[in-house]
Amino acid sequence: MSRTEIRRSGTPGRFPHVRALGGIAAALGLLVTGTAAGTTANAEPGGTALREVMFVGNNWDGTADVIRSSGDLARIGRVNVVPDKEQRLTEIYLNPVKLAYFLGIRLGPGEGHDQFVDDMYSTPDGSSVVVSRPSFADVVSIDLSTGRINWRFPVSGYRSDHMAVSPDGSRVAVSASTSNTVHVLDIRTGAQLGSFRTGDKPHENLFADGGTRIWNMSIGEVNTALDAPWLDWTKGDRRITVVDAATYAPVKVIDMRERLDAFGRPDLSDAVRPAAFVPDGSALYFQVSFFNGLVEYDVAADRVTRVKTLPKNPATSEDRTTWVNDSRHHGLSVSPAGDKLCVAGTMDDYATVVDRATLQEGPLVPASKPYWATVSGDGRSCVISESGADQVTAIDFATGLRTATTAVGDHPQRVRLGHVPAGWTGPAAG
C-alpha cells in the first residue's frame, strides 16, 4: 500500500555577527542546469515557458525564498512550505511518541527551533516544489501557482532529511534519518518507487554514473555531547551505501574508516557529510565531522588520495560540543569545469574557493555560519547560505571574492537550482 497522502485542497542563528576573518558548503547533489537568470526556456516540448531560479530553504521559517539564479540573486517570491502546519501539529501533539521525537528535533538538530524545510527541488515542468520537512517527518509537493499541497509522503520513522533528484528530474531520493532508510519517490505523484536500507542516520544522497547509481552517506549520531575522539564508538554505523537506481539493490558499501586509516589519518571521523563528484565522476570530495577541511577520494581506485586542512578561525571554540551537529565545515560544491571547489567553513565563519589541482585556498570570505554551497545558474559563482545572518551570498570562482548578497528568511540552509513559470512572483493563495 502506498504511503502517499493526496492533499488536493488548501489546507537568530548562533552567530548573529560575521567575525572579522578575511578571505565548503556544497551543492551536494545534482545541479539542474538551465538558461541564465532572467531568460526563459521550455522544460518539456510544448510546455510552459520557464525561468531558472534558486530555491532557498528557510528551515526555521517554514518558507522557501525564490531568487535569481545568477547575478544579483534578487528575490523573486516566497513559498510557504507548511500550509498544513496546524493540522500536522495537532496530529503530533495527540501522539506521545511523535511528540517526543518532534521535541527532540527541536532541542537537537534544530538548535531550539522546529525544522520545517531541509531540502527542496522543483518538478521538471516548474509547476511545483517538492520539500522535505524534518519536524513533520514527511515530503510534500507544493503547487507554485496556488501554494496548496499536491501530495504528502510520510517517511518511515520520525524525521526526513537531505534529498537528491535524478538527472531527468523524475525522482527524488529522501533520507529517513531515524529509520535508516532512503525512500525514492515519483516527483510528480509522490508514489514510492522503491527504498533501501543504509547505515545509521542517512544524510546526503547523490545520483551518480548518469543516474544509474545512488550514493547515500550515513553520518551516525550527531546530536549527543559524546564528541571526544575516544567516544567515537558511540556514534554508530557510518558508511556509504551505493545502490542500483533501477532496482535499489545494494551495489557496494564503502567503509571510509578503512580508507582514512590506510591513508594515515585515523584521527579523522568517518562520518561523511556534504560531498560532491567532479563532472566526470572520477573523484568525490567530501567533508567529515569535526574537521576543518576536505577529503579527496578516487572512485575507481577506491582510496583516499589527498586531505586538505583549511584555516581555523581563532575565535572559534575548540570545544567540539559547541559545534552544530558535529559539523565544523558543512557545505561543498564543484565548479562546472571541475577545477575549483567551494567550501563553507561553517563554525569558522568563512567560505573559500579552493584550487582543485593544488588544494590551495583562496581568500577567506567572511560569512555567518555558512551552511551550504551550490553553483549559480551561469556557473560562474558559488552560492552559499549564511544561516547566521539570514542571507545568501555569491562568491566568484575566478577571483574567490564576494559578488552579491541577498536577504532571505530565518536560518537558510539548502540552496537548489530549479525552475518556475516565466513571470512567476509567488503563489496566488499566499
- On whether residue 235 sits in a domain, the answer given is yes
- On whether residue 147 sits in a domain, the answer given is yes
Q: Is 65 left (phi over 0), alpha (psi -120 to 50) or beta?
A: beta
Which grid cell sits at 107?
532541542
Residues 6+ apart with CB under 8 A from 377: 33, 34, 35, 36, 37, 52, 54, 69, 70, 417
Q: Which domain holds residue 261?
A: 5-11+21-421
Q: How many domains are there within the chain?
A: 1
Which range is least confidently modeled, 36-45, 213-222, 227-236, 369-378? 36-45
- On whether residue 430 sits in a domain, the answer given is no
230-237, long-range: CB within 8 Å, 24+ apart, which pairs?
232/269, 235/200, 235/269, 235/271, 236/199, 236/200, 236/201, 237/199, 237/200
Q: How confident is the model at residue 44 (pLDDT cuts 50, 70, 90)?
A: low
* 176-228 per-position pLDDT tens digit: 999 999 999 999 999 999 999 999 999 999 999 999 999 999 999 888 888 78
CA angle 235, 240, 244 (to 5 degrees): 145
Which range is least confidently modeled, 18-27, 92-101, 136-145, 182-191? 18-27
- On whether residue 337 sits in a domain, the answer given is yes
Between CA 367 and CA 337 the distance in angstroms is: 25
Between CA 16 and CA 31 the distance in angstroms is: 30
- What are residue 104's phi and psi, to 5 degrees? -65, -40
pLDDT of residue 35: 35
Q: What is the DSSP letter of 111?
A: T
Across the chain, mean pLDDT equals 90
Between CA 218 and CA 205 the distance in angstroms is: 9
- On whether residue 16 sits in a domain, the answer given is no
Q: How confident is the model at residue 42 (pLDDT cuts 50, 70, 90)?
A: low
- On whether residue 426 sits in a domain, the answer given is no
- On whether residue 69 sits in a domain, the answer given is yes
pTM: 0.89
Q: How confident is the model at residue 12 (pLDDT cuts 50, 70, 90)?
A: very low
In this model, does residue 61 exceed pLDDT 50?
yes
In this model, does residue 379 exceed pLDDT 80?
yes
CATH number at residue 367: 2.130.10.10
C-alpha distances in angstroms, 277 versus 67, 210, 338, 339?
25, 12, 9, 12
Between CA 315 and CA 33 the distance in angstroms is: 38
Q: Which residue has cell 528535533?
A: 105
- On whether residue 328 sits in a domain, the answer given is yes
